[in-house]
Amino acid sequence: MEVDALPSERVELRARLLSSLSASPPPREQWEVGGSTNFMIAAARLGLSVHAFGHVADDEFGDFLRTCLAVCP
């Protein structure tokens, strides 16, 4: 992916950009949970107690993350 410029500092323009990007996501089988979540999953698999605080949206991306974390040991 190439990025010609950083998103605008104007909140409404950034919101419009994010909406356009999430309107046509790649196929779900290409999704990944991301670096910090990958780290937490690896730590849990090693037997460490892992906790995270944050917000998970009530959308298809949040559903994906909840599904991935539900199968983690």
Report the C-alpha gap between 5 and 11 in whole angstroms: 16
Q: Which amino acid is at 68?
A: C
pTM as predicted: 0.57
Residue 47: its pLDDT value, please?
94
d(CA 65, CA 62): 5
Domain limits, the chain? 11-70
Q: What is the pLDDT of residue 39?
A: 92
- What band does 1 get if pLDDT is binned at 50, 70 and 90? low
Q: pLDDT tens for residues 31-73?
A: 888 888 889 889 999 999 998 888 888 988 889 988 888 876 5
